[in-house]
């Protein structure tokens, strides 16, 4: 489910619970909503609101950590690609076909990661895998003539292996790092909170407007968390501009 659909669903459910609370207020006896009953409802609502705040903070911390880890992996991949190209340039003219192969690989690699379909887009695609394999094969096929070239080849092989590991890490990362059970429970708690708000207070235009704004805010928070949990799609995706422009044309 996309973040906008999930947030929209949450908005409808919470709004429906608020309407239900208004209906319940009109049919429940007055003594059920006054005195000690009202105090207990207030305390129960405060308890659920506290738990909701904790879950919201936990979800944000989890998705933020995942997003930062992914961004760090992309930055490392960019640095490794630049380093690999530098090593091949220092190796000499014999490595020119390899430098071209690395540049040919960057575009398909980016396209295989940054897709609207975050799950399918990060699966290891055969064309990219074969190109990566050809680069490694070409690196192994180099015939160093000096100790310096031998050192450069060894380092280039290490960097290329690191690149493959990072790509596989990104490919195995789940498309949505947000916990669905946590999100479902959070929406249920928000429904309870807004239902009790509208049930314990007599409806009026000011109260309705404030509760509506609160519902929009809660749904917006859910949307932002879900967007943050999808680092390769949506409005808050990790940028690929640095990676795409890392290597200048030969």
Q: What share of the chain is helix, strand, coil (3-state, %, to 5)?
A: 80, 0, 20
Residue 177: what pLDDT?
57
Residue 147: what pLDDT?
92
Residue 189 has pLDDT above 90, yes or no: yes
Q: How far is CA 230 from CA 66, 113, 156, 217, 238, in A?
A: 9, 12, 32, 20, 9
Confirm whether 129 is domain-assigned: yes
User: 């207990």: which residue's tokens?
Assistant: 40
Confirm whether 250 is domain-assigned: no
Residues of the domain holding 159: 3-244
3-state SS track over 199-234: HHCCCCHHHHHHHHHHHHHHHHHHHHHHHHCCCCCC
Residue 90 has pLDDT above 80, yes or no: yes
Q: How many CA atoms lie within 13 A of 30 on its CB side?
A: 1
Residue 191: what pLDDT?
94
Confirm whether 148 is domain-assigned: yes
Residue 27: what pLDDT?
86
Instruction: Tell me the backbone φ, ψ of residue 111, rounded to 5 degrees.
Output: -65, -30
Confirm whether 80 is domain-assigned: yes
Confirm whether 249 is domain-assigned: no
When pLDDT is cut at 50, 70 and 90, the band that residue 175 belongs to is low
The tens digit of pLDDT for each residue in 225-237 reads 888 888 887 777 8
How many residues are listed for the chain in this entry? 250
For the residues 89-108, what does the mean pLDDT come to?
Answer: 88
CA atoms of 210 and 224, how far apart (whole Å): 21
For the residues 73-96, what does the mean pLDDT come to?
Answer: 91
Residue 117: what pLDDT?
43
Residue 220 has pLDDT above 50, yes or no: yes
Residue 115: what pLDDT?
63
The tens digit of pLDDT for each residue in 112-146 reads 777 644 344 444 444 444 444 577 778 888 888 89
When pLDDT is cut at 50, 70 and 90, the band that residue 20 belongs to is very high
Per the prediction, the chain carries an average pLDDT of 83
Percent of the chain beyond pLDDT 90? Answer: 31
Residue 125: what pLDDT?
47
Residue 212 has pLDDT above 90, yes or no: yes
Contact 163, 81 (CB under 8 A): yes
The tens digit of pLDDT for each residue in 23-82 reads 888 888 888 878 888 889 889 999 999 999 998 888 888 888 888 888 898 999 999 999
Total domains in the chain come to 1
- Count the neighbouring beta carbons within 10 Å of the beta carbon of residue 143: 8
CA atoms of 203 and 206, how far apart (whole Å): 8
DSSP notation for 153-194: HHHHHHHHHHHHHHHHHHHHS-S--S-HHHHHHHHHHHHHHH
Confirm whether 226 is domain-assigned: yes
Confirm whether 42 is domain-assigned: yes
When pLDDT is cut at 50, 70 and 90, the band that residue 187 belongs to is very high
For the residues 7-12, what does the mean pLDDT come to?
Answer: 93
């Amino acid at each position: 489910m996309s973040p906008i659909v999930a947030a929209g669903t949450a908005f409808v459910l919470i709004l429906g619970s608020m309407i239900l609370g208004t209906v319940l207020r009109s049919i429940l006896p007055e003594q059920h909503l006054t005195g000690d009953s009202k105090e207990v409802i207030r305390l129960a609502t405060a308890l659920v609101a506290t738990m909701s705040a904790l879950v919201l903070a936990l979800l944000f911390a989890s998705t933020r950590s995942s997003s930062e880890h992914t961004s760090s992996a992309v930055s490392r991949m960019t640095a490794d690609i630049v380093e690999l190209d530098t090593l091949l340039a220092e190796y000499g003219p014999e490595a020119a076909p390899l430098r071209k192969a690395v540049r040919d690989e960057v575009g398909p690699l980016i396209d295989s990661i940054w897709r609207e379909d975050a799950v399918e887009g990060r699966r290891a695609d055969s064309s990219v895998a074969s190109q990566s394999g050809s680069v490694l094969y070409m690196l192994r096929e180099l015939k160093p003539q000096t100790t310096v070239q031998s050192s450069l080849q060894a380092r280039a092989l290490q960097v290329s292996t690191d690149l493959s590991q990072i790509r596989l890490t990104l490919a195995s990362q789940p498309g949505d790092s947000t916990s669905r059970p946590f999100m479902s429970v959070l929406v249920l708690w928000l429904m309870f909170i807004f239902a009790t708000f509208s049930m314990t207070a007599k409806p009026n235009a000011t109260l309705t407007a404030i509760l509506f704004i609160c519902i929009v805010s809660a749904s917006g928070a859910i949307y932002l968390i879900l967007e943050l949990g999808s680092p390769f799609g949506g409005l808050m995706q990790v940028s690929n501009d640095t990676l795409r422009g890392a290597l200048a044309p030969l």
